[in-house]
């Protein structure tokens, strides 16, 4: 018999719903405060406050560490609403027991307990219902293309189709063994790899599942090569049904064991922690340096005719384009479509104020607004011009994987001196190698190291011109 863990009581999902849990915490604190005002006594006020504090600590402790796994299917409405409320109430019950054990004279009244438990349960359920309604509008099913052999292909698709509230949908199927075109469960079946790849790109499929035998290395390597320049996840679903004695824990949207071959290197929890730090750090920077922003804007405006800000199209996470902001450092000039000329040393297009801004990297400050808009991160691979992306992604190995996370204002490559003009493939290759190292070794401590290095020595560099 499998006993439910406390995480099930809280109905935790893969996405870190920090706002939802903060709202629930406010509900618990408000319930405790209201119960104390109406039913409490001044003698036990301190103990009652300690109960609320311990309950919140217990709940948040149970929430940690459960953000990594992807949801295999949506949690049912009763479970999503009732179990979190029960979880919070149990935390409060445990807190009462702890306080009573620490001080035997503590005797909370039944009216106070009811005034704490009932509003908590009702408030948490209301929060979850609202989140459920809002979540139904933002849920996006993952599109999947499957590669396999014979009956395993069909079984794979049918299993996903049979799942209630499946988090993914199959868009295309490539059968290595079949001889004639057909459909499996309404999904188009392909036998030509080029046609299959074109369909994957046309439909903007999120991931490719390679449901192949462990010995079929040639096919696996072939598909990895076909999609080497595409920004999609590739997962290997080995045929191990005959090798496993017990049903182990599955890693995938369809309850099957899957190995990530090419995927986002950061977990949902890591991305959430980066997003929280990005917003807080950027807000504090914009507020704290607002006089500097104003002074630079005036200097740019007075130095030469033209706008204060310069915008350029760049690629963000998953290849989504956005407009990056910079203080204008050049005289306004006409440019040819599709042609981006990088700044060179002693470039005549650069103004005197612009030269100072570029040497000190102060021209990058407006990108904190890109971070606040959710388009960039404080730390990450630096975004290049879209024209350069089109040039280098087929030349530099692993270039496309830089865009699996949000681009950054600063990064591991920049603090290691890889800045400025990329006038050779070798320079770009070194920069990409550093970016991929960062993605493979990310940690919050590494981000802090990069930020501190940027502040202490990263603003001025001989390659910044």
Q: Which residues pair with 309 in a beta bridge?
A: 327
pLDDT of residue 47: 82
Looking at the structure, do residues 197 and 327 belong to the same domain, yes or no?
Answer: no
Q: How far apart, in whole angstroms, are the C-alpha atoms of residue 63 and residue 93?
A: 17
Give, as one character, the DSSP assignment of residue 70. Answer: P
Torsion angles phi and psi, residue 282, rounded to 5: -70, -40
pLDDT of residue 229: 83
Give the CATH number, domain containing residue 243.
Answer: 3.40.50.720
List the structure tokens of 403: 């865009």
* Angle at which helices 193-202 and 217-226 cross, to 10°: 50
Q: How far apart, in whole angstroms, are the C-alpha atoms of residue 11 and residue 357?
A: 50
Residue 111 located in a structural domain: yes
CB 451 within 8 A of CB 379: yes
232, 262, 292 — which closes off a domain?
262
Q: How far apart, in whole angstroms, are the C-alpha atoms of residue 173 and residue 181?
A: 11
Residue 179 located in a structural domain: yes
208, 230, 262 — which closes off a domain?
262
Residue 169 located in a structural domain: yes
Residues 6+ apart with CB under 8 A from 209: 144, 145, 146, 147, 156, 235, 237, 258
Q: How far apart, in whole angstroms, are the C-alpha atoms of residue 381 and residue 441?
A: 13
Torsion angles phi and psi, residue 423, rounded to 5: -95, 10
Q: According to the per-residue pLDDT averaged within each range, which of 12-26, 174-188, 408-422 is highest?
A: 408-422
pLDDT of residue 105: 79
pLDDT of residue 365: 93
How sure is the predictor about 241, in pLDDT bands with cuts at 50, 70 and 90? Answer: low
The number of residues in the chain equals: 465
pLDDT of residue 131: 79
Q: How far apart, in whole angstroms, are the C-alpha atoms of residue 123 and residue 304?
A: 58
pLDDT of residue 464: 53
Looking at the structure, do residues 300 and 445 belong to the same domain, yes or no?
Answer: yes
How sure is the predictor about 251, in pLDDT bands with cuts at 50, 70 and 90? Answer: very low
Q: Please state the rounded mean pLDDT for residues 226-238.
A: 86
Q: Which is it for strands 187-190 and 183-184: parallel, antiparallel or unpaired?
A: antiparallel
Looking at the structure, do residues 452 and 316 belong to the same domain, yes or no?
Answer: yes
How many structural domains compose the chain? 3
In terms of pTM, does the model score above 0.85?
Answer: no
Q: Give the closest residue to 451 by CA, choosing from 345, 380, 349, 366.
A: 380
In order, the DSSP letters of 335-346 are --TT------TT
More confident residue, 221 or 337: 221
Residue 465 located in a structural domain: no
Share of the chain above pLDDT 90, in %: 16
What order of strands is seen across the sheet that includes strand 168-175? Answer: 183-184, 187-190, 168-175, 142-148, 207-211, 233-236, 259-262
Residue 76 has pLDDT above 80, yes or no: no
Segment 11-56, tens digit of pLDDT: 334 344 667 778 888 888 888 888 888 887 777 778 888 888 888 8
Q: Of the given ranges (7-16, 244-253, 422-431, 444-453), which has the lowest mean pLDDT?
A: 7-16
Looking at the structure, do residues 151 and 177 belong to the same domain, yes or no?
Answer: yes
The continuous run of DSSP H or E covering 144 comes out as: strand 142-148
How sure is the predictor about 8, in pLDDT bands with cuts at 50, 70 and 90? Answer: very low
Domain that holds residue 102: 6-138
State the maximum Cα–Cα separation within the chain, in Å, rounded to a whole number. 82
Looking at the structure, do residues 399 and 454 belong to the same domain, yes or no?
Answer: yes
More confident residue, 141 or 415: 415
Residue 245 has pLDDT above 50, yes or no: no
Residue 463 located in a structural domain: no
More confident residue, 96 or 255: 96
Residue 65 has pLDDT above 50, yes or no: no
Residue whose structure tokens are 């021209």: 363
pLDDT of residue 72: 43
Q: Please state the rounded mean pLDDT for residues 291-309.
A: 90
Residue 125 located in a structural domain: yes
Residue 99 located in a structural domain: yes
List the structure tokens of 100: 């009573």
Q: How far apart, in whole angstroms, are the C-alpha atoms of residue 291 and residue 299?
A: 12
List the structure tokens of 338: 């599709």
How sure is the predictor about 325, in pLDDT bands with cuts at 50, 70 and 90? Answer: very high
pLDDT of residue 166: 63
> Average per-residue pLDDT in the chain?
78
Looking at the structure, do residues 342 and 285 belong to the same domain, yes or no?
Answer: yes
CB 297 within 8 A of CB 290: no
Looking at the structure, do residues 14 and 78 belong to the same domain, yes or no?
Answer: yes
Looking at the structure, do residues 320 and 221 belong to the same domain, yes or no?
Answer: no
Q: Please state the rounded mean pLDDT for residues 200-229.
A: 87
Q: How far apart, in whole angstroms, are the C-alpha atoms of residue 416 and residue 414?
A: 5
138, 154, 170 — which closes off a domain?
138
Looking at the structure, do residues 253 and 310 belong to the same domain, yes or no?
Answer: no
Summarize the chain as % helix, strand, coil (round to 5).
50, 15, 35
Residue 76 located in a structural domain: yes
CB 384 within 8 A of CB 408: no
Looking at the structure, do residues 252 and 294 belong to the same domain, yes or no?
Answer: no
Looking at the structure, do residues 14 and 106 belong to the same domain, yes or no?
Answer: yes
Looking at the structure, do residues 257 and 158 belong to the same domain, yes or no?
Answer: yes
How sure is the predictor about 213, in pLDDT bands with cuts at 50, 70 and 90? Answer: confident
Q: Give the closest residue to 462 by CA, choosing from 400, 420, 415.
A: 420
In order, the DSSP letters of 311-334 are EEEEE-GGG-EEEEEEE--B----
Q: According to the per-residue pLDDT averaged within each range, which of 104-108, 268-272, 349-353, 363-367 is highest?
A: 363-367
Number of neighbours of residue 258 by Cβ within 10 angstroms: 20
Residue 400 has pLDDT above 50, yes or no: yes
CB 465 within 8 A of CB 345: yes
């Amino acid at each position: 018999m499998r006993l439910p863990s406390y995480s099930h009581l809280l109905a935790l999902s893969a996405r870190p719903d920090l706002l939802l849990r903060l709202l629930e915490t406010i509900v618990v604190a408000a319930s405790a405060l209201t119960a104390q005002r109406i039913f409490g006594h001044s003698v036990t006020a301190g103990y009652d406050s300690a109960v609320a504090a311990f309950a919140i600590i217990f709940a948040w402790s149970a929430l940690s560490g459960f953000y990594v796994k992807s949801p295999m299917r949506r949690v049912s409405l009763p479970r999503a609403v009732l179990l979190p409320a029960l979880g919070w109430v149990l935390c409060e019950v445990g807190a009462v027991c702890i306080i009573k054990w620490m001080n035997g004279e503590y005797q909370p009244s039944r009216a106070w307990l009811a005034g704490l438990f009932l509003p908590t349960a009702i408030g948490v359920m209301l929060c979850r219902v609202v989140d459920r309604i809002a979540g139904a509008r933002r849920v996006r099913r993952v599109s999947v293309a499957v590669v396999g052999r014979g009956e395993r292909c069909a079984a794979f698709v049918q299993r996903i189709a049979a799942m209630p509230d499946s988090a993914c949908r199959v868009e295309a199927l490539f059968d290595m063994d079949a001889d004639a075109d057909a459909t499996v469960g309404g999904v188009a079946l392909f036998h030509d790899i080029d046609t299959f790849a074109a369909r994957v790109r046309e439909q903007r499929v999120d991931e490719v599942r390679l449901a192949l035998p462990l010995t079929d290395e040639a096919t696996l390597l072939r598909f990895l090569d076909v999609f080497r320049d595409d920004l999609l996840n590739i997962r290997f679903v080995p045929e191990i049904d005959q090798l496993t004695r017990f049903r182990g824990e599955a890693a995938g949207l369809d309850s099957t064991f899957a190995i990530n071959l090419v995927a986002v290197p950061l977990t949902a929890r890591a991305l959430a922690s980066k997003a929280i730090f990005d917003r807080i750090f950027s807000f504090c920077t914009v507020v704290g340096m607002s006089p500097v922003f104003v002074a630079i804007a005036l200097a740019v405006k007075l130095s030469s005719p033209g706008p204060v800000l310069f915008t350029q199209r760049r690629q963000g996470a998953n290849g989504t384009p956005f407009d990056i902001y910079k203080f204008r450092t050049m005289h306004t000039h006409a440019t040819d479509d599709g042609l981006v000329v990088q700044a060179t040393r002693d470039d005549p297009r650069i103004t005197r104020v612009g030269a100072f801004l570029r040497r000190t990297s102060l021209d990058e400050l407006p990108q904190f607004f890109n971070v606040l808009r959710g388009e960039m991160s404080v730390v990450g691979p630096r975004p290049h011009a879209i024209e350069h992306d089109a040039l280098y992604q087929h030349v530099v190995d692993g270039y496309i994987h830089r865009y699996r996370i949000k681009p950054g204002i600063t990064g591991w490559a920049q603090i290691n001196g890889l800045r400025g003009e990329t006038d050779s493939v070798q320079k770009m290759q070194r920069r990409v190698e550093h970016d991929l190292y960062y993605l493979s070794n990310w940690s919050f401590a590494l981000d802090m190291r990069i930020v501190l290095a940027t502040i202490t020595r990263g603003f001025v560099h001989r390659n910044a011109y």
